[in-house]
Amino acid sequence: VLRFIATRLLALVGILWVLATITFLLQAVIPGDPARTMAGPGAPDDVVDRVRDQFGFDEPIVEQYVGFMSRLLQGDLSVSVHTQRPVTTDLSTALPASLELFLSAFVLTLVVGLIVGLVTATPRRGTALIRSTLILGASIPNFFVALIALLVFYARLRWFPSSQRLSPDLAAPVGPTGLLVIDGLVAGRLDVVTNALWHLVLPAVCLALAPALVLARTLRSSLRSALAQDYVRTARAKALSERRVLLKHALRNSLNAPLTLTGLEVGAMLAGIAVVESVFSWPGIGLYTVRAIASSDFPAIIGVTLVIGAVYVIANALVDLAQVAADPRLRGSEGR
Amino acid sequence: MRLEICWKTCDGKSLAKEEFMKVRWTALVVMLLVGIAAACSPEPVNEASEREAQGGGDGTLRLAFSDNPTGGIDPAVFLNIEGEAIILSVYEGLLEYAPGSNELVGSLAESWEVNEDLTEYSFTLREGVTFHDGTELDSEAVRSSFQREIDIGAGPSYMLADVVEMETPDPLTFVIRLKRTNNAFLHYMASMYGPKVISPQAIAENERGGDLAKKWLAENAVGTGPYRLDSYAPNDRFVLKRYDDYWGEPANFETVDIAVVPDIGAQQLQLEAGDLDVILHGVSPSQVEALEANEAIRVESFDSVIRQIILINPHRPPLDDLRAREAFAAALDRDAAVQGVYGEYASVATSIYPRFTLPADMAPVDYSSDASVPDGTDIEITFPNVEPDLRRLAEYFQPQLEDAGFDVTLRADTYAQEFGYFRNLEEAPNAIVSTFNPDAAHPDTWGRLIWHTQGGLNLLGYSVPESDRLMDQARASTDMAEAERLYAQAGEAMSDQRLVIMLADAQDLFAVREDITGLEHTPAYIWTVNLATLERE
C-alpha cells in the first residue's frame, strides 16, 4: 500500500508539473493582454504599463517561467487578473462549493448507477425500452439537461431554486468545511441543511445523470456476463436465493469495469461542473474557470487546472484501491 | 391456479414476485429522496413569495450581475461596468448628471465655481452629510479620497492627472487646481468612474502595510450614498441596505440583493418566476417581444452613450490602404444592419461622437466613396464572443462586403483577446465589430479613449497627428463652443481616415417586473438605473 501511495504521489507531482507548464506556455502564445484586463478597458497606457511591470508580464518568457515555478513551489499561485485577489484565496472560497456539488453528484452517480444496473441486469419485459432510455439519458449533454431541469422544475413546477447555494435570507454558518450541509449539521442549523440540500438537488442531478446512466449500462453489461458464468450456475444449484446470487456472487465479480469507468467519469464530471455551475450560478470553481477563461485570467486558469488535476489523480487512485478491494486477484499489482 | 408474476434472469431462471418487489421498492425509495429534498425545504414554492409577503416600498429589491465586479469595488481602482450599480449606490462624487441628460448637477457639492482659464475649481460641500460609519463629510475627506486615488494610480486616476494642488480652506470648501486647462474636468467629477469620496476613518482603520486600504476596499465600502454595503461575497451575492441617515431622499427599498447569475437565460427565468425584479443588462432587442409576452414583465429602454463601432486595422493589408478602407466603409448598409439587429432600440450613428457628448448635428458621418477593391480581397473581421448582437451585425455586413469584392471571414474572440491585438498588429484582424462607451458625457472621453495616439482603448495603434492636435487644442479651450468645434474637426480628421466606422447609438434596455416603478436612468451611467428611486407598487 505504501508503494502504491508513493507511486501515485510521484505521478501526482509529475502530472501537476506538466499541467502547470502547459498552462503557463499557453499564456504566452494565446493573444490577450492580462495587464489591460487588470487595469480596466479604458485605463491609460501608463497605468497598463505599470500593471504589466508589477506582475512581470513584460519579462522574458524564461524569466517568467522560473519565477512562476518558484512561486508555485511556495504555494503562491499569484493574483487573479479578474478578481485581483490571490488565486489561493479565490480557490479556497470556490472549492468547498464545488466539492459539495461534486460529492453529492458522485454519491448520486454511484447509487443510481448501481441500482439501475442491478435492476436492469436480468431480462424482462421492457428491457429494450430500458436500454434505449439508458443510451438516450447518457448521451444528453449536461447543459441541455440543466436547461430542461431549470425550465421544468424551477420555472414550471417551482419545486427547486434556480441558483446559488442558499436562500438569501439565510446566513451560512462559518466553517469548518465550507460544505454547507456538513457545516449546518455541525452548527445544529437544520434550516441551513435542508435549504442547502434543496439548492443542491437540481445541479447535482444534472451533473450525475449521464455518468450514472453510463455506469448503469456498464454494470448491467458486466452483470449479464457474470450471470452466464459457471460459478453462478453452481451457486444457483446450491439453491441460493437469486438475490444472494446477484449481490454476493455476480456483483463482486462484475465491479472491475464499472469501477474503471467511475474513474474516467470523475474526469467527465469535473468537466461538466463548469457547465452546470454556470447554468445554476453555483459559486464554485467551475464558474470561476469559465470567468477566468473569458478574461484570459491565466493565474486563475493555472490554479484551477492544478486543483482539478490533483482531484482527478486522487479520485483515480481511490478507484484503483476500490478495485483492489473488490477483486483480490489485483493485489500485488497495485503498485505497478 | 395461482397466478405468479415472475421476472427472469439471463439464463431463464425466475425470480419470485417478492424479490422483484424488493428491488422495485429500493428504486422507488431513491426516487422519493428527490421529493424529500424538496419537501424538507423551508420554502417549497419559490423565493418570490417571501418578498410578496413583505409588500410595500420596503422589502427587498432583487437584481443580478452577470459577472463579479472585476478587481472589486474600490472606486479608485474600478474601471469596468459590472459593479457600477453598487459603486453609484454606495459612493458619491462631487457632481453627477441629472437623470436623462448630460446636465451637471451637484452631488456632494452643493455649488461650485470655476476660474476663467478652467484651472481652479472651488466646490462648496453639503452640510450634514455623513459616511456609513457615522463620521461627517468634510473637505479634508474629499481631499484625502482624491489624493488616495492619485497615489494608487490605477485606471480612473487619469481624471486627476492634471491636479497640482488641493486645498481645504474650511470644512465645507474644497479647492482643486490643475496644471493646465481641461474643459472635461467637471465631467470627470460626474463620471461613473470619477473620484468618489470614501470615509477617511475607514481607510485609516483598514490600511495594511501602506496599501491605502486597497485590499479592504476591494470588498468593503464606506461611502455617503443612499445604500451601504451589507455583505460582499465574490462570485456569489452582494447585499446593500438602505442608509437611514442619508442626506437626500431615502431609498425606497430597504435591501438590495444582487446575485451573480452569469447566464442571461437563467436571469430571464428568474425574472419570470418573480425571483428577480430587474435585469440590468444583457437583454437583446430580439428578446423583447418574448419577454413582454409575459404580462408580469415590461422592457424599458433609455437613450444612452453606448455606441457600436467597427475598428479597422491599418497595419494589415488590404485595409492598410485608405482606398480599401473607403471601399469597406462605403459597402456597409448601416441602416439595414442596425434596423435588422436592433429594431427600434438603436439608431444609425449620424455623428462621430455618441449622443450626449456633442450636439448631434456636429461631426456628421459620411462614408460615401467610389473606391473599390478587386474581387476576392480577403479580410478577417472579429466580434466579441459574448455579444450576440455584434455577431449579428457582423453577419449582416458579411454579404454586403462580399458584394463589394471582399472575401470575409468572421471570427469570435474574447474581450481579453481584443485587448491583446496591439501586441502584434500585423497579425490582428482587419476589423473588429465592437461596442464602447465614453467615460463621461464629454467628447474628450470618447475621442481620446478610442483613437487618440495615447488612448486607453486605442486597440489598433492609431496615430492621426492632426486629430490628436485638434483634440488637445479642444480640451485646452476655455470657450466650450470653440472646444466643440475643435472636437468635431478632430473627429472629422479621424473619420477621413476611415479607421473607426460609427454604426449605432444603442439604447440601454432593462427588463422589469410590472410592479417595479421609478426607473431613473442617466445616459452616461450605463447598465444601471438609480437603485434608490426604484419602488414596488
Distance CA B370, CA B368 (A): 7
Task: Tell me which residues of chain A, numbers 272 to 291, contact chain B at a CB-CB cutoff of 8 Å.
Answer: 278-281, 283, 287-288, 290-291
pLDDT recorded at residue B51: 47
pLDDT recorded at residue A330: 65
Beta carbons of B454 and A90 less than 8 Å apart: no
More confident residue, B18 or B259: B259
Per-residue pLDDT band at B43 (split at 50, 70, 90) = very low
Q: How far is B415 from chain A (nearest CA, A)?
A: 7
Cβ contacts of A39 within 8 Å, gap of 6 or more: A47, A48, A50, A51, B79, B154, B155
Residue A7 has pLDDT above 90, yes or no: no
**E strand or H helix at B432, and its extent?**
strand B431-436
Q: Which residues from A are below 8 Å from B73, CB to CB? A: none
Q: For A178, how many CA atoms within 13 A lie in the half-sphere containing its CB? A: 13
Task: Tell me the ipTM for this assembly.
Answer: 0.76
pLDDT recorded at residue B235: 82
Distance CA A314, CA A83 (A): 28
pLDDT recorded at residue A335: 46
Cell 459612493 locates to: B91
Query: A320 phi and psi, to 5 degrees?
Result: -60, -45
Lowest-confidence region among A48-52, A270-274, B509-513: A48-52
Per-residue pLDDT band at B39 (split at 50, 70, 90) = very low
pLDDT recorded at residue A43: 67
pLDDT tens per residue across span B191-228: 999 999 999 999 999 999 999 999 999 999 999 999 99
pLDDT tens per residue across span B462-492: 999 999 999 999 999 999 999 999 999 999 9
Distance CA B98, CA B143 (A): 24
Residue B319 has pLDDT above 70, yes or no: yes
| Other C-beta atoms lying within 10 Å of the C-beta of residue B120 | 15
More confident residue, B333 or A169: B333
Beta carbons of B11 and A228 less than 8 Å apart: yes
pLDDT recorded at residue B335: 96
pLDDT recorded at residue B403: 96
Average pLDDT over residues A15-32: 80
What b/e readout covers A209-233, taking b as 16+ CB neighbours within 10 angstroms? Answer: bbbbbbbbbbbbbbbbebbeeeebe
Distance CA A262, CA A111 (A): 12
pLDDT recorded at residue B385: 86
Which of A53, A122, A288 to mutate: most B Cβ within 10 Å? A122
Cβ contacts of A10 within 8 Å, gap of 6 or more: none
Cell 464499472 locates to: A258
Per-residue pLDDT band at B184 (split at 50, 70, 90) = very high
Rounded to the nearest integer, the mean pLDDT of chain B is 89
pLDDT recorded at residue B420: 82
Residue B24 has pLDDT above 90, yes or no: no
Query: A284 phi and psi, to 5 degrees?
Result: -115, -165
Residue A236 has pLDDT above 90, yes or no: no
pLDDT tens per residue across span B131-165: 999 999 999 999 999 999 999 998 899 999 999 99
Q: Does A54 contact B at CB distance below 8 Å?
A: no
pLDDT recorded at residue B5: 38
Find, in chain A, the residue whose alpha carbon is nearest to that of B445: A42
Q: What is the residue-wise DSSP string for B360-395?
A: TTSSB----------TTEEEEEEEETT-HHHHHHHH
- Name the H helices within B72-114: 84-90
Beta carbons of B419 and A41 less than 8 Å apart: yes
pLDDT recorded at residue B45: 43
pLDDT recorded at residue B71: 81
- The dihedral of CA A12, A18, A21, A26: what is its sign? negative
Q: Which residues from B are below 8 Å from A83, CB to CB? A: 68, 70-72, 234-235
Query: A221 phi and psi, to 5 degrees?
Result: -65, -45
pLDDT recorded at residue B52: 47
Distance CA A231, CA A243 (A): 15
Distance CA B206, CA A274 (A): 35
Nearest to B146 by CA among B128, B126, B161: B161
- Name the H helices within A120-189: 127-139, 142-149, 180-186
Percentage above 70 pLDDT, chain B: 89
Global confidence as pTM = 0.83
Q: How far is A270 from chain B (nearest CA, A)?
A: 19
Using only the alpha carbons of chain A, give its radius of gyration: 24
Exposed, middle or buried: residue B379 (CB in 10 Å: 0-12, 13-18, 19+)? buried
As given in the structure block, the three cell numbers for residue B403 are 458584394
Q: Does A168 contact B at CB distance below 8 Å?
A: yes
pLDDT recorded at residue A31: 65
